[in-house]
Amino acid sequence: MRSFSEIERLAFSNRSGEGEAALLLPTPSTTEALLEIPDATWLSMLSRCVFSAGFNWKVVESKWPAFENAFHGFAPGPCSMMTDEEIERAAVAGGIPHMAKAISVRENAVLFRELAENAGSAAAHLAHWPSTEFAQLLIELKKRGNRLGGTTPQYFLRFMGVDGFILTEDVVKALIREEIVYRAPTSTKGLIATQGAFNTWSGESGRPLMQISRLLALSIG
């Protein structure tokens, strides 16, 4: 595993210098900003990522206002108590009649209520989770949530501003190149190994995980 300064140089050289590459680097939101986001907004984004997985993002985005209205604005309380019949009607009314994904709204609303019971709000649970244990958060969401495997929770957390990595094809290629993993890290062991590398690189560079993730992708070309 090479130092992150070497990876940065490779990424910057692929983007004609540090200035251009820096424009592409995301910045995480502060904990205070994340805490101000209502749980309904978190659930809405999570659900949008679930529905967009394997589907056309533009189609989902165009239908989302109607879908959000049909699902009580994604307030976790009402959503967690919807019957299968109510969910089916809401999905049809929202224009995205995918029943399995629609049911995930209810199941993940139940998860959000459980998180709120322990932390005061789902936002507090997610906002206070340390970036040094981001992989463990992904593991928890996959275990306790519905349809939260793969990169779905990674994109959800990134869109909300939570610091973490996204295991895109290029990021995985970079991790394999650095001999951190030998294939896409979907297992607990692979995710923990990935987290260890990210923590090391973050300590070396002072960069948040999301910038390290982006620079790894840029280092591929």
Residue pair 175/194 in contact (Cβ under 8 Å)? The answer is yes
Higher model confidence: residue 24 or residue 113? 113
pLDDT bracket for residue 54 (50, 70, 90): confident
Residue 55, token pair as written in the block? 């589907």
Rounded mean pLDDT of 64-75? 94
Sign of CA dihedral 123, 124, 125, 128: positive
Compute the radius of gyration of the chain from its Cα atoms: 18
78-83 long-range Cβ contacts below 8 angstroms, 24+ apart? 79/43, 79/105, 79/106, 79/109, 80/106, 80/109, 80/110, 80/112, 80/113, 81/106, 82/106
Predicted local confidence at residue 23, as pLDDT: 65
Task: Classify residue 73 by its DSSP letter.
Answer: G
Q: Could you tell me the two tokens for 160?
A: 């909300």
CA atoms within 13 A on the CB side of 37: 23
- Cα–Cα distance, 53 to 131 (Å, whole number): 24
Per-residue pLDDT reduced to its tens digit, 100-159: 999 999 999 999 999 999 999 999 999 999 999 999 999 999 999 999 999 999 999 999
Look at residue 21 and tell me whether its pLDDT is greater than 80.
no
